[in-house]
Structure 1
Amino acid sequence: MGVAIRVAGEADRELVVRLLDEAFQDDPVSGWVFPDPAHRRATHPRLMAAFTDVVLAEGRVDLAEDGSACALWLSVPAGEHEAGGDGADEDGPAQLRAAVDPDNERVELIGRLTADVHPAGRAHAYLWMIGVSPERQGEGLGSALIGSVLDRCDSEGLAAYLEASNDRSRALYERLGFVVTGDPLDLPDGPRMWPMWRDPRPE
């Protein structure tokens, strides 16, 4: 499908935060981080805002022109990986917890656990999050957003990486050429995440 995509700026911040909040409210990992539904509704937007601010400052947010979907990307140099929620600062998970939900250790833990499984060594594009409005899911918007970056990765010979947080997203990423790399991440008393890697395809 033809999807008009542009790079988001600061003026789009609230739209991106809302998209991510709506898309991930019922995600298994968000439910694990914020088990109480009322607390999740109140606090989850702050976590999505923190993620958005990092990527607006350090990466790239692709936004469907009609505001229905967004994708957050970071560029990871060879030999480095992101430390779960703050860019390169390894104290980021603790800072994130302090800013978002100080009494909730899972806000910090998810950052540390995903950082631990993040592959180091090769430069890659890191798809941190992708959000599609719930009423627009299943229309191919996610595939279009990711595909535009993967085309660029292929032309530049650059790998891509992400963590799938549910079976539906994992299946989408597999169709786009990602494969599970290493062992799945089983969150303590929680759901499973799948680290996934995609080598560039020759043109």
Structure 2
Amino acid sequence: MSIQTITVRGAAPADTDTLAATLAEAFQSDPVLSWCYPDVAARARILPTAFRVILEAAIPHGGVETALGGVAASVWVPPTAEIDDERMVGDLATASEQYADRMFTAMGLLDEHHPTHREHQYLFILGTRDAWQSQGLGTALLRSVLSGCDRDGVPAYLEATSERNRSLYERHGFETTKVIRLPDGPPLWCMWREPA
């Protein structure tokens, strides 16, 4: 599949269930979410609901994109978005069941290290279903937003949750600014990208 043939479009509320399932599959073995939800069966049950909460909060702000009928998705938080963080975190706590404290710890760490010195596009999540990985979908989703960042002079920020993801983001101009670590858990790479 050629990267030029991949069509990326904005997600609509009707896409929520499909994209929640896609992201749940993509992150089932993710080191950070495995730390948040250490029981494999509980993680498989929790993730679709948790991603549905995130998508429902983000889609109205226009930052969610998808490719190939929902087999890949990205969740960006534009600089102007005003997401109801308290409601979203409360709903995530409910979805997280007995692991709510772990989720709060992870979200608190992200919030503590999130840059506030400049407005930026924030890539919260990017994921592709297992059978479709390494076929250019992540690149297509990244380019869709990063081309606008370059055009408008807007930087971008994310936290990579694995070495593989970090390598993808480095290929698209992101640089690691710091490494943070969950308590007795895996690292996250805070990554910043200046517009080209």
Query: Do both share a fold (TM > 0.5)?
Result: yes
Distance 1:132 1:199 in 2: 25
Q: What is the CA-CA distance between 1:51 and the residue it aligns to?
A: 1.2
Gaps of 5+ in 1: none
Whether the 8 Å CA contact 1:165–1:192 is kept in 2: the answer is yes
Q: How do 1:1-203 residues align onto structure 2 when only pairs under 5 Å count?
A: 1-2=3-4, 3-76=6-79, 87=83, 89=85, 93=89, 95-104=90-99, 105-181=101-177, 183-201=178-196
Distance 2:162 2:87 in 1: 27
Give aligned-pair identity as a percent.
38
Range that drifts further, 30-39 or 65-74: 65-74
Range that drifts further, 100-109 or 117-126: 100-109
Whether the 8 Å CA contact 2:57–2:88 is kept in 1: the answer is no
When normalised by structure 2's length, the TM-score is: 0.91
CA RMSD between the two structures: 1.8
How many residues align? The count is 192
Distance 2:68 2:131 in 1: 16
Distance 2:37 2:94 in 1: 15
Give the 4+ runs in structure 1 shifted more than 2 A: 87-93, 96-99
| Partner SS state of residue 56, structure 2 | helix
Match of 2:181, as an amino acid? D
Q: What is the CA-CA distance between 1:96 and the residue it aligns to?
A: 3.8
Residue-by-residue CA offset, 1:42-70 (whole Å, 9 max, x unaligned):
11211111111111133411111432211
Distance 2:144 2:76 in 1: 12
The alpha-carbon distance between structure 1 residues 53 and 91, as it changes in their structure 2 partners (threshold 3 A), is: closer
When normalised by structure 1's length, the TM-score is: 0.88
Whether the 8 Å CA contact 2:160–2:189 is kept in 1: the answer is yes
Residue-by-residue CA offset, 1:26-54 (whole Å, 9 max, x unaligned):
10011000001111111121111111111
